[in-house]
Amino acid sequence: MHDIRAIRENPAAFDAALARRGLAPMSPQILALDEDRRTRILAAETAQADQNRASKEVGAAKAAGNDAEFDRLRALVAEKKAEIARLTQEAGAQDLALRDLLLTIPNLPLPEAPDGRDEADNLELKRWGSPRTFGFAPLEHYQLPAVQQGMDFETAAKLSGARFVVLSGGVARLHRALAQFMLDLHAEEHGLMETITPVLVRDEAMIGTGNLPKFAEDSYQTTNGWWLIPTAEVTLTNIVAGETLDEATLPRRYCAHTQCFRSEAGSAGKDTSGMLRQHQFEKVEMVTICTPEAALEEHERMTRCAETVLERLELPYRRIVLCTGDMGFGSQKTHDLEVWLPGQDTYREISSVSTCGSFQARRMAARYKPLGGGKPEFVATLNGSGLAVGRCLIAVLENGQEADGSVTLPAVLHPYLRGKTRLAADGQMV
């Protein structure tokens, strides 16, 4: 959420930042609401002073036997009381309207984020690894003989409908091994605190990370009001909601492996084959809570954590910095990692790592006490996939496929598979 004081002080800069996202100016609407709210608050305070003064004079009029003045003052007290109640209610309604408006406005991009309209304007920053040259036409993951017995879309459709999958046998075991490898790497080498969080959350948690109110249709809500998390970003970030932390405890770095749920609203017709885009999937999420001054350095560190997963799995990838027109709602700057999928002959997103500044912290009321003393300040928050487990499974299968229908698995996973090195053409681990 945005600081109304900053908008008051420099509305032109606020609108200029929105323009970088392709949005029309909003400061006139915001400041009109704010001015109306403040006018009513001031009027209520003036009426309160009038009431207090009249209340004091009532006693004096009665003591003096001035009945007419007593009656006038008593009526004035009642009138001011009603006026205060009305103005307070109106100011509260305007305050709520202003908050609701601010909650729908995306974060402002950092100067480091490149300008652009859409994904065509994103910039490639680096590449790692070289796509493998195959002596045959590579298949997509769901077409591989080694996979077909263990990746069942028909049964999933019978159980749940489209965009679900049932994994079994060697494919399920490989999926589990990938998640465990990611957690071990992040916890043991990258210093993230492994965390288990709920997958059902209240409205407040979704509002805190920016998933509500604007993107309700992208998530699932239960009949008793809980939301299924679209990512553990929601739960990990909200660990500090409403808290005032000591700066000495920062940064706080978390990771969690959870199921994630997305309605995929607006994605009709996209990636309908295979398990690239699912309503239910698993992800290892990373979240950092730090001071605003440390956020950009943390952004680079977190991006490297995600890249290391891909490098250990020997998967070619590229790093992209998103332009202002393609960034997520809560982001100030975002790196996307795209992994090479030979079956599609292209790179596809497998991780998105964003720094959000104090945008989420302001929504969550998450602050820290500076080491040097002074007023508590809002923390900075960052989040990123480390990685999406299902998409990582796809990449391992497609990059490791062989002409005989088997899949050669990355060496780093062998210990997690009890020494097994291949997924045979019949789906068995060997």
Indicate the pairing of strand 193-194 with strand 252-261.
Answer: parallel
Tell me how far apart the alpha carbons of residues 380 and 247 are, in angstroms, rounded to a whole number. 12
Tell me how far apart the alpha carbons of residues 290 and 250 are, in angstroms, rounded to a whole number. 5
Instruction: Determine contact, residues 340/286, Cβ cutoff 8 Å.
Output: no
Q: How many CB atoms lie within 10 A of CB 188?
A: 10
Q: Token match 């509260």: residue? A: 92
Residue 330 one-letter amino acid: G
What amino acid positions are annotated as catalytic residues? 262, 277, 349, 352, 391
Tell me how far apart the alpha carbons of residues 395 and 343 are, in angstroms, rounded to a whole number. 9
Instruction: Determine contact, residues 195/236, Cβ cutoff 8 Å.
Output: yes
Instruction: Write out the chain in H/E/C secondary structure.
Output: CCCHHHHHHCHHHHHHHHHHCCCCCCHHHHHHHHHHHHHHHHHHHHHHHHHHHHHHHHHHHHHCCCHHHHHHHHHHHHHHHHHHHHHHHHHHHHHHHHHHHHHCCCCCCCCCCCCCCCHHHCEEEEEECCCCCCCCCCCCHHHCHHHHCCEEHHHHHHHCCCCCCEECHHHHHHHHHHHHHHHHHHHHHCCCEECCCCCEECHHHHHHHCCCCCCHHHCEECCCCCEECCCCHHHHHHCCCCCEEEHHHCCEEEEEEEEEECCCCCCCCCCCCCCCCCCEEEEEEEEEEECHHHHHHHHHHHHHHHHHHHHHCCCCEEEEECCCCCCCCCCCEEEEEEEEECCCCEEEEEEEEEECCCHHHHHHCCEEECCCCCCCEECEEEEEEEEEHHHHHHHHHHHCECCCCCEECCHHHHHHHCCCCEECCCCCEC
